[in-house]
Structure 1
Amino acid sequence: MLNVLGNAVRKAGISLLLTASIVAGAAIGHLWPATGELLGSHVNATLLILVALLFFGVRFEAVVRAWGNLRFLALAALATYVFVPAIGYAIASAVLAAHPMLLVGLSIYFMAPCTDWFLGFTRLARGNVALGTALIPINMIGQLLLYPAYLRLFAQGSVQIEAGVIGDTLLHWFLVPLAVAVPAHYGLRRLLGGKRFGRLLQRMDRAVPWVIALLAMEIFAANVTVILAHRNAFAWVLLAVFVFFACTYLLGEAISRLGRFAYPEHALLTMSIAARNAPLMLALTMAAMPDEPLIHAALVIGMLVEFPHLTVLRRVLLGQRQRAYRRTLRHSGMGARNDLTIY
């Protein structure tokens, strides 16, 4: 009973931590804009720390085995690059037809799968992090290669992006943290031994929510003024983002049922198709279209709404996991395992 109560307090604590970081960041950015900009200048560094931390905590032999799960990877890619873009463009066109620049920005936001914090939220929801790591290069390479096509489709081909930007982005956001994390993981495991290294991994796992909270605070502190500057259009963008997140949740449920995914894969799929890569898309779009603040604003607003959504989504998934566990206990007695299949 004490263990159950302790777990409940810990889970609620993570949600409160993330919520508090969002509120604190928004307050700092609104009351002290200079401090908000200073915090925002550290977003890239915090993202790199988060990616390296997540890579460090993964046993890469499990990632190699994850590539054997081709059925999941194929369904995830189908959802990411076919269903989700179609849903996103349909929603943006329906809600923002009167605001063409916001439509462009939000369409770009909808079509870029996350390559970093989705894995952190997957871990918080007790999803399959090793398999999620295998999704990172797929998501990163796919969206960068498709980005010029997105610009041609939504900006009528008026903007071009240099090929060198794609290579630099892959190097900066994927290869560098991977090159740091892998030697550190296996070097420290060899140096410390299995038992002490296991304790280190536990400490790293406990650090992930704090790094995500710091990232949320930095993003909100730096960008809350964008919402205030475009408050008239905010309601329409907010509506479109809310509908998008609702649709992607239903899509994840449908694919998980059809694929009969176990809970860890179900949680991973749900998080991966909900989370978007707004920081990377914002950086690329500001470089490609520096004089279109409404496009930038749409990306920022989507990013600001995303953190509260992922926080709620984590609670929904954990609730599903707990209900599935109770059902299994009723059907099979106290010998039920934790690696339950939901569907």
Structure 2
Amino acid sequence: MLSKEWLQRRQVAIYAVAVLLAGGFGLGLPASAALFERLITPVLAVLLYATFLEVPFVRFRRAFTNGRFMALALGLNFLVVPVVVYGLTRVLPQEPILLVGALLVLLTPCIDYVIPFSDLAGGDAEQVTAATPVLLVVQLLLLPVYLWLFVGRRMADIVEAGPFLEAFFVLIGVPLTLAWLTELWANRSETGERWQATIGWVPVPMMAATLLVVIASQLPRVWDSIGQIAAVVPVYVAFLVVMPLVGRLAAGLGGLDVGEARALVFTATTRNSLVVLPLALALPAGYELAPAVVVTQTLVELIGMVVLTRVVPAWLVPDAPAGLPAPTLRRDE
């Protein structure tokens, strides 16, 4: 029977179909790119509203009930990850187009499909869910700081304040506010609760729609530069290898139980491509490749998540860890 859980467990296959369709439209019907481009803003707005609605803002304080997990998640994502990203991106051609696109996506922790993937790997999805409001707020505050640190004064020339702020307001600010108001409504009304439950079906199909419209609209214009974009793929793959190991080590040092440790690995590894995509699309002329660089990370990561949902419980954080360098994790009760 079709359900939200059914969609979540088959989301990678659904996204793969969307990518194949997008490639068919982009290469077979390049004239359709203009139509798909006009659909990007409304599709993204709906997707981000549905995504933010899964972030439990009304339970913000609950994120701090497990202070150890919260401290490790914040430390990994906003202290360790920037160091790892800085090191990995040094191998990229130092072209602002590639660098800014890669930094936008790698510096921001995921707040959406990290939850079902953590659950599929036997992680504590509830703890990840409780932490997402904090991760979202902190990344929005720190992203400009990290971009300035890593790109320097060039950021002032790259980012035109008007379009950037407009994209932030329309595609992040408005959906975020509506999601918060909807959660308040759902807490006070059965109608609001039913609406929130209905929107819970939306993220997976809207993610597929986003991949379809973004790739189909951008592929014709970036096809000649596909080799240039491919330069970021090894960086994304390396990130998917390094951060699970770092997350596992941090979980061991922090004495987390098995479920929390698996959740920490996923929150340290998955990135927030959908939230930063509007910012990449708002970059000025000359940076048309940046959205493709961001979407490429999504495609690489989805494959990586399929692998990690098997590797993490089977090897990285097994039920009975043994012979690993980090301290032994507590068994779930």
TM-score by length of 2: 0.73
Opposite residue 21 of structure 2, the aligned amino acid is: A
Q: Where in structure 2 are the equivalents of 1:53-72 lying within 5 Å?
A: 53-55=53-55, 64-72=61-69
Deviation readout 1:40-64 (Å, 9 max, x if unpaired): 3443134234325524xx6966x64
Structure 1 residue 114 corresponds to structure 2 residue 116? no
Give the Cα–Cα distance (whole angstroms) in 2 for the partners of residues 297 and 211 of structure 1.
Answer: 18
Q: Which residue of 1 aligns with 2:76?
A: 79
Query: Within the alignment, does 1:175 sit opposite 2:172 as a pair?
Result: no
Separation in structure 2 between the aligned mates of residue 97 and residue 30 of structure 1, nearest angstrom: 27
**Does residue 45 in structure 1 map to residue 45 in structure 2?**
yes
Identity %: 23
Partner of 2:154: helix, strand, or coil? Answer: coil
Q: 1:77 to 1:254 in 2, by over 3 A?
A: same
Match of 1:88 in 2: 85
Q: How does 1:122-141 map to 2 (within 5 A)?
A: 122-125=118-121, 127-141=123-137
- Residue 332 of structure 1 aligns with which residue? none
5+ unaligned residues in a row in structure 2: which ranges?
Answer: 1-5, 322-329
Partner of 2:149: 153
Q: What residue in structure 2 maps to residue 17 of structure 1?
A: 14
1:82 counterpart letter in structure 2? L
Structure 1 residue 250: deviation in Å?
1.5
Measure, in 2, the Cα distance between the counterparts of 1:315 and 1:28: 33
Q: Which amino acid aligns with 2:137?
A: I
Q: Secondary structure at the match of 1:26?
A: helix
Of 267, 275, 281, the residue aligned with 2:276 is 281
Instruction: Provide the C-alpha distance between the structure 2 equivalents of 1:87 and 1:294, rounded to a whole number of angstroms.
Output: 23
- After TM superposition, the structure 1 = structure 2 runs for residues 308-319 of structure 1, keeping only pairs within 5 Å, are 308-317=303-312
- Call closer, same or farther: CA 1:11–1:106 in 2, change over 3 Å: closer
Aligned partners of 1:220, 1:314: CA distance in 2, in Å? 26
Counterpart contact for 2:48–2:275, Cα < 8 Å: no
Alignment partners' CA distance in 1, 2:151 and 2:286? 13
The CA distance in 2 between the partners of 1:81 and 1:290, in whole Å, is 30
SS in 2 for 1:266: helix
Q: CA RMSD in A?
A: 4.0
Match of 1:299 among 294, 306, 310: 294
Report SS of the residue matched to 1:159.
Answer: helix
1:123–1:129: 8 Å Cα contact kept in structure 2?
yes
Normalised to the residue count of structure 1, the TM-score between the two structures is 0.72
Deviates more, 1:251-260 or 1:293-302: 293-302
Superposition deviation, residue 73 in structure 1: 0.7
SS of 1:148's partner is helix
Which has the higher mean CA deviation after the structures are superposed, 159-168 or 226-235? Answer: 159-168
**What amino acid sits opposite 1:51 in the alignment?**
T
Q: 1:134 to 1:289 in 2, by over 3 A?
A: farther
Query: 1:128, 1:268 within 8 Å by CA — same for their partners in 2?
Result: yes
Which moved further from structure 2: 27-36 or 236-245?
Answer: 27-36
Query: Do the aligned residues in 1 keep the contact of 2:229 with 2:292 (CA within 8 Å)?
Result: no
Looking at structure 2, the residues matched to 156 and 283 of structure 1 have their Cα atoms a distance apart, in angstroms, of 21
Distance 1:270 1:67, change over 3 A: same
Structure 1: how far apart are the matches of 2:7 and 2:155? 48
Uncovered stretches (5+) of structure 1, i.e. residues with no partner:
1-8, 329-339
SS of 1:230's equivalent in the other structure is helix
Structure 1 pair 322/285, CA: closer, same or farther in 2 (3 Å)?
Answer: closer
CA distance in 2, matches of 1:290, 1:270: 37
Which position in structure 1 is the counterpart of 2:242?
247
